[in-house]
Structure 1
Amino acid sequence: MSDPAARPLTPPAKVAVIGLGNMGRPMAACLAKAGYDVRGYDSAPAMRERFAQETGRTAADSLEAAVDGAKAVVTILPNGKVVAAVVAAMTPHLSPGAIIVEMSSSEPMATRRLGEAMAEKGFGFVDAPVSGGVRRAIDGSLAIMAGGDAATLDIVEPLLKAMGRAIFRTGALGSGHAVKALNNYVSGAGLVAALEAVSVGKAFGLDPDMLVDVLNASTGKNNSTEVKLKQFVLSEAYNSGFFIGLMAKDIRTAQHLAEELGVATPLGGRCADLWDEAARTLGDLADHTEINRFLTQDTA
């Protein structure tokens, strides 16, 4: 665990960002813009090249080089299994007292176990998954759900503020990932409900745009009716920037958490099954709003 007397991590401290995908690249760019000495790394050469093009900074050519001397290491990776493998590989190369800021969408219980193991080795660990998508990653306005030791969160808070506008301290280690998974469950269930309502309305002869306007002025309003239906579904653009495989994973994570805790979630189980099937049918890299094509059987 980090020294409680340590000062907040402010620029120009060295920060490694591991994972330079659609979210990791703009998040790293925000850190660089804030004045941090950012060292980005991704196992895919193409992602390292895009990072260099978009930020003007050279990506590290190895995980070891990226984390060498870093005060904090941000991980933004596909899933918890990848996170665990990367953390194991980089641990021998971490600076004493370095803090891992785990910003992927991972299993809360697994995150807690990993963080506790790293604390025993003298490293700080917080989970800080995000919500807001690529657009808000670019402008640094993400919502960040941060779990972990309060003293460690105090140290990394300036770093988090460089990437997010709303920082929520959610509680003990793993709680950030729990909140993220539950949020995406609610988001995914709301999107399916809204899409089904539009399909029924169209079959009845209702104008979809009018129906969405009514929903947004009434009690049916949710994030999907406000920022997804007209923009990505009715327009058939299907380019929100968030993959269906990731949404399905997050919803399944919420369901696994419920099962581990012994909490009955009948709607959650059905919702997780639906999103899993949609991801299998459309492919993990389809935009998550394309679940409308699955629901309407427009999958050609």
Structure 2
Amino acid sequence: MIDNIGFIGLGKMGMPMAKNLLNSGYNVFGSDVNESAINEFQSLGGTSGKFLDWLHNVQTIILMLPSSKIVNQVIDEIIDHYASDQHSHQDHLVIIDMSSSYPDETRKNFIKLEKKNIEFLDAPVSGGVKKAVSATLTIMIGGKVETFTKCKRLLGSIGSNLFHVGPIGSGHLIKAVNNYLSATHLLASCEAVQLLQNFEVEPETAIHVFNQSTGRSSSTEYKFPSFILTESFDSGFSLELLRKDLEMAKQLFLHAGAMTNLPQIVFDRFDNASHTLDQDADHTEIYQFVSSYLLKRGKSNEKDSETICSSSNSSISF
């Protein structure tokens, strides 16, 4: 029997993920606010429509949405329109939130859904558009082991590295921390490369040395060669989305009472970059923002440093 899957959020990541589900033999119903995305999805063989129209035709719904706020709205609508008696001949409905949502909101949604006999997993992904296309994403799953086991084949059609990391909310928690680490690596690498360039070391040379040494990271091994050194800045992951993830990570450290100001410093850099660069800037364009402050000198630099770091008391001046 072909499983019916609902997919809400057919963006840069969601579209290739939904395509891989179609290629794996699933019957996929898709929804998105973007009409061109709907047209593309239909051309791939998917069935489109407002999700409330196909809600009772699916066994599983995947959410790939830009914020917790939107995830909460969609889940509330599902709860309002879901009638368990229409699913009496099927397994319970399962919702999988693959967005980068706030863990606390995820736990609240789990409680609401459990009251309606709707199963829930948080399963954010890492790997970017390239791995979404190749179905080799890393997926970090939080929730009941039984629900994860039920969905393992489906998730395996989207990613090649599946990790059940703990109870509900754990997936979103580790994803936020992962993106914080990724952003920190990227920022440090951008500053290091531009510092060395000031001493007439070519960026390509610096990156090559780092990648053969202990300073290497996914930023030096992948992002620099693919998007920064080529000046394409087209990774497919926006600066604004990374800023949102960093704000989430900053709050997690803050609420835990962690004695560190590094999450605040990293957030401030990306937050100021998001206000300085174009609204739709790629996150790899942080390299260009770094060049605006790193090696400026004198009074003009003091003024620029104040502007760049105005959102935080934990600023850094150069």
Provide TM-score, normalisation by structure 1.
0.92
Partner of 2:51: 63
Partner of 1:17: 7
Question: Which protein is bigger by CA-based radius of gyration?
Answer: 2
Partner of 1:7: none
- How many residues are matched? 286
Distance between the aligned counterparts of 1:239 and 1:113, measured in 2?
35
Alpha carbons of structure 1 residues 43 and 95: separation in structure 2 relative to 1, 3 Å: farther
> Pairwise mapping of residues 209-228 of structure 1 onto structure 2 (< 5 A)?
209-228=204-223
Partner of 1:110: 105
Distance between the aligned counterparts of 1:30 and 1:65, measured in 2?
23
Distance between the aligned counterparts of 1:187 and 1:264, measured in 2?
20
Partner of 1:263: 258
> Pairwise mapping of residues 98-177 of structure 1 onto structure 2 (< 5 A)?
98-177=93-172
Contact 1:21–1:47 under 8 Å retained in 2: yes
Q: CA deviation at 1:284?
A: 4.2
Contact 2:122–2:142 under 8 Å retained in 1: yes
Secondary structure of 2:48's counterpart equals coil
Distance between the aligned counterparts of 1:269 and 1:86, measured in 2?
31
Q: CA deviation at 1:92?
A: 3.3
Q: CA deviation at 1:283?
A: 3.5
Secondary structure of 1:68's counterpart equals helix
Partner of 1:240: 235
Distance between the aligned counterparts of 1:197 and 1:246, measured in 2?
24
Partner of 1:48: 38
- The match for 2:69 among 76, 81, 84 is 81
Q: Which runs of 5+ in 2 are unaligned?
A: 85-91, 294-318
- The match for 1:192 among 180, 187, 190 is 187
Distance between the aligned counterparts of 2:42 and 2:260, measured in 1?
45
- Worse-matched range after superposition: 194-203 or 65-74: 65-74
Deviations 1:101-160 (A, max 9, x none): 000001111111111211122110010000011111111110000000111111111111
Percent identity over the alignment?
Answer: 37
**1:29 is the counterpart of 2:24:** no
Q: Which amino acid aligns with 1:264?
A: M
Q: Which runs of 5+ in 1 are unaligned?
A: 1-10
Q: CA deviation at 1:44?
A: 2.3
Contact 1:75–1:103 under 8 Å retained in 2: yes
Partner of 2:88: none
Backbone CA RMSD of aligned residues: 1.4
**1:207 is the counterpart of 2:180:** no
Q: Which amino acid aligns with 2:37?
A: M
Distance between the aligned counterparts of 2:249 and 2:217, measured in 1?
19
Q: Which amino acid aligns with 1:249?
A: K
